[in-house]
Chains A and B, each alone.
Chain A
Amino acid sequence: MQNVLKIILQRLALGLLTLLVVSIVIFIAVNLLPGDFAELILGQAATPESVASIRRDLGLDQSMVTRYFSWLGGMVTGDLGTSFAQLNFQTNLGGTGGKTVAEQIAPRFANTMFLASVTAMIAVPLAVTLGILAALYRNTVFDRVANIATLSSISSPEFFMAYILILFLAVLNPIFPSLSNIYEGMTFGEKLEKTMLPALTLTLVVTAHMMRMTRAAIISLLASPYIEMARLKGISPMRVIVKHALPNALAPIINVIALNLAYLITGVVVVEVVFVYPGIGQLFVDSVKIRDIPVVQACCLIFAAAYILLNLMADILSILSNPRLRHPK
C-alpha cells in the first residue's frame, strides 16, 4: 500500500506541474487572440485616448509577464479575477463593482457537471454492459448490430443526433421537453427531466468509444491461459467474461471512460446551444466573442484541470485494479 501511495503522490505532483505548464500556454494563446476588449466595447467611439484609458483600468497596458504572474497569483488564492464584461456594465449603470469571474462561472459549471453526471450515469453502465455482451456474443448478429449502431451514432454530427432526438422524443412523442433551460430553484426532478434530452444525445456520442474498448479489452484476454483454465473448469461463458476477463481488462476501460468524461465537461458546446442549456461551454464561447479575457482564461484552466484530474483518477484506479501493486510480494 505504501507503494501505491507513493505512486499516487507522484502522479498528483506531475498533474500540478502539467497544470502550471498549461496555464502558461493558455495565457499566451489567449493573448494572441486578435482584437481587444477595449476596442470592441467602445465600437465607433474608440478614440485612442478612451481605448488607452480602458486598457489602463483593466491592466492591459502592463507587460505580459507581469499580467501572467498577477493572474497566476490570483488563481492560486482562488481569485479568478473580474469579468471585463460585467465590470463594464456595472460601471455604466453606476454600480459599485463588477461580478467576479468565479460568481459568473460557478452556476454554469455546476450545470455542466450536472449534465455530465447524468450522462455518465446512463452512458458508462450502458457502454460497459454492451461491451461485455458484445464480447460474449462476439461475431454474432448482436455484436454486429451493437457495433454498427454505436459507430453510426458517433459518426453523425452531435447537432444532428440532437435534432433527431428532439423530433422523436419531444415533437412526435412529447416525452421530454426540447428546451433545457434549467435555473436555480428547480427541484432535482424537474432538472433531471429538462436535462434528459441533452444527456441522451451525449450518451449516443460517448457510448461507442467505451463500448468498443470494453469489447476489445476483454477479447484480447480471451486467448490467455487463465481464461482457458476457467473454461476447462466448466465455468459458464458469462461468468468467464465477467469474473475472469473483466477484472484484468479494467485498466484500458477506465482510461477510455476518463477521456470520455473529460469530453463531457469540456466539449459539449454544440449540444448546449441546441438545447439552450446554460452550461460552461456557452459561457466560454460568448466570452471569446467579446474578448472577455479573464473568463476565457478561467474556463480554459477549468477544462485543463478537468482533463488532468480525470486522467489522474483513471491512472490511480488502473493502479488499484492491479493486484500486483495492491499486494506486493
Chain B
Amino acid sequence: MSDPLVKIRGLKLEGRSDEMWMPIINGVDLTLNRGEVLGLIGESGAGKSTLGLAAMGYTRDGVRISEGSVEFDGIDLLTASAAVKRGLLGKRIAYVAQSAAASFNPAHKIIDQHTEAPTQHGVMGRNESVDDGITLYNKLRLPNPETIGFRYPHQVSGGQLQRAMTAMAMSCRPDLIIFDEPTTALDVTTQIEVLASIREIVEEYDTAAIYITHDLAVVAQMADNIKVLLKGDEVETADTRTMLSKPQEEYTKSLWAVRSFERPAKPAINTGATPVVSIQNVDAAYGTVKVLEDVSFDIHEGRTVAVVGESGSGKSTTARCITGLLPPTKGQILFDGQVLPASYKARDKFQLRQAQMIYQMADTALNPRMSIGKIIERPVQFYMGLSGKALRQRVDELLEQIELEPDKYFNRLPSELSGGQKQRIGIARALAAEPKFIICDEVTSALDQLVAEGILRLLADLQDKLSLSYMFITHDLATVRAISDEVVVMKDGRVIEQSAKAEMFQPPHHAYTDLLLSSVPEMDPDWLTNLLNERGVDNIGDAAVDKM
C-alpha cells in the first residue's frame, strides 16, 4: 500500500479569545488514503471545520497550530512556504464551503471564478477551462450547463450554487477536496440532489475527500470511514458500517439516539371543540406578489401543529399573518372563536399577549446589549404590569421553567450563552406574556441535534404543564415526528395536505409529501444508492418537484 495522501499526527490548535489562547483541537491523528472519503462529525464547536482547514495547512485569523504535523502527499504543510502552499491550494487541494451564496464573490460571474484556479495555476488556458467547466456542470446535472456559468452568483439558486462550487473545486482535478457542511443550508429535496452529484463526481475522478457535517444520516451516505469529534478530541474512528451498527463510545451512541425522541400520540380532538387558533381561507401578498393562497387550518388547545415545507412555501408568512405583522388580503384569523383584527396595530394588549413567537436565530432575536434578566422583564412589565419584587420573582420563575438557574443567568449578556441557552431565553420571553399559543419558527434548525432535542423536550414539558398550543414551523421531518400532533404540508403558498401525524407518516400520501419524506436521509448507508436505483436521478429532489 502506498503512502497516505493526508497524514495528520498529534495536531493541536488553539484559538484566541480575550487575549488568551484556548485549545480547540487537542491532539488529533488523521490518515486519509487516495480516493477515500472520510466523514468528520460532531456538534458545532467540536472543531470539525478547524480540523478540515488545518488539513489544507490553513488556519483562520485568531487560530494557530501549536503542535503536531500535517503532511499532504509527503509535503509538510506546516513548514512549507506560503508560495508552496499556494501552489497546492486550488490545484491539488480544494475546498467546498458551507454557504455557496457567501463563498462566491458577488462581483464576478460564476465561470470567471471557476476558471481562476486553473488559469492562475497554469493547469489550462481560459477557453479550455470554460469548456471543462461546462462539462462539469453537465456532469453535476446543473440546468442550462452551457449558460449557467455566465450568470452572477445572485442569479442562481442555493442548491445550484452549491453544485457550481463543487464544480469549481473540481476545476483542477484535485487529489483532495474538503467539503465543509456543503448541504446544511439546503432544503431536503435540494440536498439530496447535491449529495448525489457530489458522490458521483468524487467517485468518477477518484478524489479523496474529507466530508464535514453534523448530520449523521448524510455522512452515512457519503463516507467510507467516519471520525467522531467532541470538543476537540477524537471520540472514535471506524468504517461507516461498523460505526453505524456498533458504535463503541457512549457519546457516539447518544448521537445515534437523538433521532429516537418521539412524543406519545394524544387522544383525538373532541369534535365541536373551539380551536385556539383558526386560520380561515387566508390569502396574503408581498406587494403584488401573492405568497399565500386559501390557507386554512386549526390549532387546538394543548396540541402541536407542525407546518412543513421548503423555503419559500409560505410557512413563515402564515405565521406573520397570525401575528398580524402581515395583514391578510383575504380570509380571517380566529382566536378562541373570536375574529382577530388583521393588523397587530388594531389588536389590544390581551389579543397581542395570546400569540407569541420564538425565532429561528436566537442570536439575532435577543438584544445583545441587554442582560438576560432585562430581556425577560420587558414583556412581563408590558403585558402583566408587574414591577419591583413581583417582577423579579416572576422572571426567576420563568428562568426556572426553562431550566436555567436565575441567580447565575440574570445578569449575563446573550453573548455569554450557548446557542441552546439563548434559544431557552427566547422561550422564556415568549412565556412571559402567559400566552395560550406560541409560534415556533424553525427553533431547532440552527442547533446541534443533542441541544435541539433538549429544546424539544422542554417545549413538550411546558405544553403538558401549561396546556400551550404550538404552531411548529420546520423543514425537518425528524422534528415533526418528534413533537407534532397534526401536520400541515405547504407548497407554493398552499396547504397541500393536512392530517394527524400518524396518518401523515403512513402511505398513501400526497405525491409531494411522499417526495419530502423520501428525501430525508436515513441512517442506512445504502439509502441514497437504493433511492437512486429505485427512482433514477431525475425523480429525486428539485427535478422531481419541478415535474409536479
Interface residues of A (CB under 8 A from B): 223-226, 228-236, 239, 243-244, 247-248, 321, 323-324, 327, 329
Contacts and interface: CB of A to CB of B under 8 A. Distances in A.
B69 interface: no
B150 to A, nearest CB: 10
B106 A229 contact: no
A225 B152 contact: no
B90 A235 contact: yes
A223 B97 CA distance: 14
B120 interface: yes
Interface string B129-167: 000000000000000000000011011000000000000
A231 to B, nearest CB: 7
B338 to A, nearest CB: 42
B154 A244 contact: no
A244 B113 CA distance: 10
B117 A234 contact: yes
Contacts of B56: 232
B82 to A, nearest CB: 8
Contacts of B154: 323-324, 327, 329
A323 B106 contact: yes
Which size class do B's interface residues fall under? Answer: 20 to 34
Interface string B112-137: 00001100110000000000000000
A234 B86 contact: yes
Interface string B486-511: 00000000000000000000000000
Contacts of A226: 102-106
B90 A233 contact: yes
A254 to B, nearest CB: 14
6 contacts: A225-B103, A226-B103, A232-B94, A236-B120, A248-B105, A329-B155
Contacts of B121: 234
B152 A236 contact: no
Nearest to A324: B154
A200 to B, nearest CB: 34
B60 A228 contact: yes
Contact of A224 (B89, B102, B116): B102
Given A234-B117, A248-B106, A324-B154, 4 more contacts: A232-B94, A233-B89, A236-B86, A324-B152
Contact of A230 (B88, B105, B106): B105
A247 B102 contact: no
B120 A231 contact: no
A234 B91 contact: yes
Nearest to A246: B107
B58 A232 contact: yes
Given A323-B152, A327-B155, A223 B61 contact: yes
A228 B151 CA distance: 22
A226 B85 CA distance: 19
A247 B85 CA distance: 26
Contacts of A239: 120
Describe A's contact surface by its main secondary structure. helix
A225 B161 CA distance: 14
Interface in B74-96: 85-91, 94-95
B347 interface: no
A1 B359 CA distance: 37
A239 B22 CA distance: 33
Nearest to B157: A329
A324 B97 contact: no
Given A248-B107, A329-B155, A235 B120 contact: yes
A226 B168 CA distance: 13
Contacts of A247: 105, 107-108
B318 interface: no
A223 B168 CA distance: 21
B99 interface: yes
A225 B91 contact: no
A324 B106 contact: yes
Contacts of B151: 327
B107 A323 contact: yes
6 nearest CB pairs, A to B: A234-B89, A233-B90, A234-B90, A247-B107, A225-B102, A232-B95
A327 B91 contact: no
A230 B165 CA distance: 12
Contacts of A230: 105, 116
Contacts of A329: 154-155
Interface centre among A226, A244, A247, A324 (most CB of B within 10 A): A226
Contacts of A324: 106, 152, 154
B89 A232 contact: yes
B116 A235 contact: yes
Contacts of B168: 233
A225 B58 contact: no
B97 A233 contact: no
A229 B95 contact: yes
Contacts of B116: 230, 233, 235
Contacts of B91: 234
B169 to A, nearest CB: 9
B89 A231 contact: yes
A232 B90 contact: yes
Interface string B45-60: 0000000000010101
Contacts of B61: 223
A329 B89 CA distance: 32
A323 B151 CA distance: 10
A323 B87 CA distance: 30
Contact of A234 (B87, B106, B107, B155): B87
A234 B94 CA distance: 9
B184 to A, nearest CB: 14
A231 B58 contact: yes
Contacts of A231: 58, 89
A291 to B, nearest CB: 53
Given A226-B102, A248-B106, A234 B88 contact: yes
Nearest to A321: B107
A229 B89 contact: no
A291 B475 CA distance: 73
A239 B112 CA distance: 14
Contacts of A229: 95, 97, 103-105
A244 B154 CA distance: 16
A323 B121 CA distance: 27
A101 B58 CA distance: 66
A229 B85 CA distance: 14
Interface centre among A226, A233, A248 (most CB of B within 10 A): A233
Interface string B153-189: 0110000000000001000000000000000000000
A242 to B, nearest CB: 12
Contacts of A323: 106-107, 152, 154
Given A231-B58, A234-B86, A225 B97 contact: yes
Contacts of A321: 107
